[in-house]
Amino acid sequence: MVDVKTKLQEVFQLQKQQQHVVKMTSAEERIEKLQKLKVEIIAQAPSIMEALQQDLGKPAFEAASSEMLSVISEIDYFTANLKQWMEPHVVPARNEGAQTKIISEPKGQCLIYSAWNFPFMLLFLPLVPAIGAGNVCILKPSELAPATSAISAKIITKVFDESEVAILEGGVDVATLLLEQPFNHIFFTGSTHVGREIMQAAGKHLASVTLELGGKCPVIIDENVDLEKIVPRILSGKYTNAGQVCLAPDHVYVKEEQSQEFVRLVGEYIQRSYFENGELVKSDFSKIVNERNLNRLEGLLQDAVAKGATVHVGGEIEDGRMYPTVLTDVSVDAQIMEEEIFGPILPVLTYTSLDDVIDQVNARPKPLALYIFSEDQNMADLVLAKTSSGGAAVNDVIRHMLEPNLPFGGVNESGIGSYTGIFGFKEFSHERGVLYQAPVGTNPLETFAHAPYKGKLEMLMQRIK
């Protein structure tokens, strides 16, 4: 039996040779590959939903909407636009008689790491632009979602020849072996800590990287909004996948005089959305991925309570799930305010001055997303102007990721690079600038830059003035 290291090196060399063939494929040929992928995803839909249920207890609706539909929508968008994106882009030329174009060419050999929280979507969503841009790829699914990893491998093996797209399952040892190879581009979704390691490894081969990380995505609520209307928007984003979403609202800032009403409405929403006869409807609420992460969340909750926080809703743990939880009176030095929560705990913080909130947001690393709820456009624009984040949404959460004409990605500690739609095509492409010079002798100034230089300096300085 071939060991993983040998298999990896064999596939890497196969793809190294095949990348030049794949580079020459037409838009129609690339679209055909994407369509085959779409057909197989649809055919395997029941198995995909079952795998996500096994790995994360993910509700079938969430599996279909956030995992599969996201990928299929991206394929459809590429199918409609890829030919146009692949066309060389003519730009004005400064050189008289010359023509200049920007040609998009594939980066070459790509490595894609998926994360465990959306183990299907985060493996296949970046694969779509990688294929569309004409690359060859090796995929590394998350070992923390083994059932989804297995069905993903089945799909990839059926749709693609491994000389173009291959998948290698396994744990940290496989991930480390992959980083030793001189890929041209590495796409990673995961924690900031591991993102730093990826970037360091990529630096050895001067590979470009896309890092989709995370951070503490804040929600700022202005006093002029209807709390009853906005609570469902905030909480549906917070508790999807039990809060194990990089874009999930991490904590909420609400005006001090509105905090009690907000917490009351939050409690009512949780009861009617996730409970029936006082019992959590487990089929509608995901599990925490493993015991280690469940213990981490329990530790964050206990630390917050020990430092003065009040649990208004939830806090219970049962069958691998933490109930939807709401905290108030959270101390600024609580651990839960220092690290990304990545779970179903929502700290509700109060404020009197918007400037104080902006200062607190800016005191932390730049988040992947910032959410503002306000009917005052000036207020929203002010917050956007005074803060920085990978993306932002006004009067909603998370949905900016679903807009194909917007780049999705982080900034600094929340990530590098962006994708979805044309931004994914660009992320997996090298924009190659090409000059088509006019024939020799057609430009009288052509020889001006040639030696000898006698008498030319004065003329050059006249042009500089």
C-alpha dihedral (16, 21, 24, 30), degrees to nearest 10: -90
Q: Which residues contact 299 (CB under 8 A, 6 or more apart)?
A: 335
What is the per-residue burial (b if ≥16 Cβ within 10 Å, else e) of 417-432? bbbbbbbbbbbbbeee
Alpha-carbon torsion 272, 276, 279, 283, what sign? negative
Verify whether residue 318 is a known catalytic residue. Answer: no
**List 212, 340, 413, 427, catalytic entry:** 212
The token pair at 180 is: 């030793």
Closest CA to 95 of 442, 430, 460, 462: 442
Residue owning tokens 């841009």 = 133
Q: Report how far apart, in Å, the C-alpha atoms of 235 and of each of 92, 212, 232, 297, 327 are.
A: 49, 23, 5, 18, 14
- Which H helix or E strand runs over 228? helix 227-239
Neighbours of 333 (CB within 10 A): 10
The crossing angle, in degrees rounded to 10, of helices 45-56 and 27-43 is 70
Secondary structure of 30-84 in HEC code, one letter for each residue: HHHHHHHHHHHHHHCHHHHHHHHHHHHCCCHHHHHHHHHHHHHHHHHHHHHHHHH
d(Cα 183, Cα 67) in Å, to the nearest integer?
Answer: 27
> Which amino acid appears at position 67 of this protein?
E
Verify whether residue 67 is a known catalytic residue. Answer: no
Report, in this order, helix, strand and coil percent for the chain, each rounded to 5: 50, 20, 30
**List 137, 246, 340, 413, catalytic entry:** 246
The token pair at 85 is: 């994106």
Is 99 in contact with 90 (CB distance < 8 Å)? yes
Which of the residues are catalytic? 212, 246
